[in-house]
Amino acid sequence: MISGVVWADYQFNLREPQSALARDVYDLHTLINLVCLGIFIVVFGAMFYSIWKHRKSAGHKAEHFHENTTVEIIWTIIPFFILIGMAYPATKQVLAMKDTSNPDMTVKVTGYQWKWEYDYLKDDVKFMSTLSTPRAQIQNKEAKGEHYLLEVDEPMVVPVNKKVRVLLTAGDVIHAWWVPELAVKQDAIPGFIRDAWFKSETTGTFRGQCTELCGKDHAFMPIVVKVVTQEEYDAWLAAKKQGAAMAAADNSKTFGKEELMAKGEAVYNANCAACHQANGAGIPGAFPGITGSAIATGPIDAHIDIVLNGKPGTAMAAFGNQLSEADIAAVVTYQRNGLGNSVGDVAQPVQVAGMKGGAEAAAPAGN
């Protein structure tokens, strides 16, 4: 870092491939570049040679002719075969990238502003993955870390040498899931399911980003895929299931105010601070503040409702399907008793569950 400026890593080629699919993409990219380089050398070489060889100062005079059928046929046929030669391996590669048949495992990935949800369909494991770079680094109050803006609190974990099918969709706007070392990139579109796949041949941590402009914090929506051995994956999966069971137990627990405040601050920083800001002041004209707001200081049921269901026509997203009842109770309590507010009341998970259940029961059939 020099004078507050971050100098990002750069390179002149694709990232080192970590799968057979990525290696094929890398080789195809190299082949196409070599073909283009050859065309450049031949065309511009002939042009500059002709300009120099037949210059006026050497006594040459311009020829005057209307057409040359032979030349026109040649410069039509040659590019035709060049394009066919390039199109065949490119089409073959695209078809291979679209072949999601016979996967070893399937993970549903849902994009939200500005986080990812991973749902391991056959293993009953689901979690959110959010940027973990400290706000102090983003605001230039601390030195940038090694993986600045490319680190998350919960990476996607998969076993090595397993074909992973990724089902992609979005809950708000269009996003795109991209991990270059694994040669996987696919749009995540609300209301549609797209799929892609990858099979890493090496263990390690591979980082990507959302590549579809999706709003204010588009640049703060990284993707981290951690590839581990089968034994490590089994242990991780068991731990996640145990954690999910504990989280489910929290949804029926009655918390003290201090517990809710501590938990709520973490939930707020991970899910709310991007818009409402870490101090609750919001961004005038764009995102309303929490401090002193009618929602945060008004009836608690209305506060829970807007967190659960969002506010149509605004940037306020619905968190009912993103956060647990305990998380929503905690963040509501934190907003009402922190960030300059001191209402004094608290929300409990059972209260959130009751409102969530009532909303689901009232929803029309088919929703």
Backbone angles phi, psi at 31, to 5 degrees: -60, -50
Question: What average pLDDT does the chain have?
Answer: 89
Which pLDDT score is estimated for 3?
A: 46
State pLDDT tens for residues 123-135.
Answer: 989 999 999 998 8
Percent of the chain with pLDDT over 90: 58
- The string of pLDDT tens digits covering residues 110-126 is 999 899 999 999 998 99
In this predicted structure, the answer to whether residue 1 has a pLDDT above a threshold of 70 is no
Tokens of 23: 């290696």
Q: What pLDDT digit, counting tens, does each position of 272-292 carry? A: 888 898 898 988 888 888 999
* Rounded Cα gap, residues 210 and 295, in angstroms: 32
Let me know: does 177 contact 184? Beta carbons within 8 Å.
yes
- DSSP E strand stretches across 184-322: 184-188, 194-198, 204-210, 222-228
CB contact set of 208 (below 8 Å; sequence gap of 6+): 177, 178, 179, 180, 222, 223, 224, 225
Burial (CB < 10 A; 0-12, 13-18, 19+), residue 143, is: exposed
**Domains contained in the chain, CATH given:** 20-58+66-98 (1.10.287.90), 105-248 (2.60.40.420), 253-362 (1.10.760.10)
Instruction: Out of 223-227, 314-318, 326-330, 357-361, pick the least confident.
Output: 357-361
Asked whether residue 166 carries a pLDDT value surpassing 90, the answer given is yes
